[in-house]
A and B are shown apart, each in its own frame.
Chain A
Amino acid sequence: MLITNIEIIPGKKITQHLGLVQGSSVRAKHIGRDIMASLKNIFGGELKGYTELLQESREEAMGRMVQQAEAVGANAVLNVRFSTSSVAAGAAELFAYGTAVVLE
Chain B
Amino acid sequence: MAEILIFVALLALGYGFGRHAETRHYKSIIQREAALRDIPVVTTKFPPLDHPVNAELVTGSVVISVDYFKRFLAALRNLAGGRVTSYESLLDRARREAVLRMKQQTLNLGGHIIFNVKLETASIHKGRGSIGSVEVLAYGTALIHPH
- Is residue B57 contacting chain A, with contact meaning CB distance below 8 A? yes
Q: In the complex, what's the smallest C-beta–C-beta distance from A100 to chain B, in angstroms?
A: 14
Give the chain B neighbours of A81 by CB distance below 8 A. Answer: 118
Task: Determine, out of A1-9, A18-26, A67-75, the stretch whose residues face the partner at the interface.
Answer: A1-9
Are the CB atoms of A44 and B137 closer together than 8 Å? Answer: no
In the complex formed, the residue of B with least CB distance to A52 is B63
By CB atoms of chain B within 10 A, which of A4, A44, A45, A82 has the most? A44
Known contacts being A41-B133, A84-B135, is A6 close to B46, with CB within 8 Å?
yes
The interface size bin for chain B is 35 or more
Known contacts being A5-B140, A47-B63, is A42 close to B14, with CB within 8 Å?
yes
Option from B13, B21, B57, B116 in Cβ contact (under 8 Å) with A45: B21
Complex formed: what's the CA distance from A37 to B64 in Å?
10
- Is residue A15 contacting chain B, with contact meaning CB distance below 8 A? no
Known contacts being A41-B132, A43-B21, is A6 close to B52, with CB within 8 Å?
no
Are the CB atoms of B52 and A41 closer together than 8 Å? Answer: no
Q: In the complex, what's the smallest C-beta–C-beta distance from A97 to chain B, in angstroms?
A: 13
Count chain A residues whose beta carbon lies closer than 8 angstroms to a beta carbon of B: 35
In the complex formed, the residue of A with least CB distance to B86 is A44
Give the chain A neighbours of B116 by CB distance below 8 A. Answer: 5-6
Residues of B within 8 A of A (CB): 10, 13-14, 17-18, 21-22, 25, 45-53, 55-57, 59, 61-68, 70-71, 97, 115-116, 118, 120, 122-127, 132-133, 135, 137, 139-141, 143
Interface SS, A side: mixed
Give the chain B neighbours of A6 by CB distance below 8 A. Answer: 45-47, 55, 115-116, 141
Closest 9 CB pairs of A and B: A11-B52, A44-B67, A44-B18, A50-B63, A43-B17, A84-B122, A4-B141, A45-B21, A47-B63
Q: In the complex, what's the smallest C-beta–C-beta distance from A65 to chain B, in angstroms?
A: 11
Can you pick out 21 interface pairs between chain A and chain B where the beta carbons lie within 8 Å of each other? A3-B57, A5-B140, A5-B141, A9-B53, A10-B47, A42-B13, A44-B21, A45-B17, A45-B18, A45-B25, A47-B65, A48-B63, A50-B135, A51-B62, A54-B63, A81-B118, A84-B122, A84-B135, A86-B122, A86-B123, A92-B122
In the complex formed, the residue of B with least CB distance to A42 is B68
Tell me the chain A residues, 48-104 only, with Cβ under 8 Å from chain B. Answer: 48, 50-51, 54-55, 58, 80-86, 89, 92
Are the CB atoms of A4 and B55 closer together than 8 Å? Answer: yes
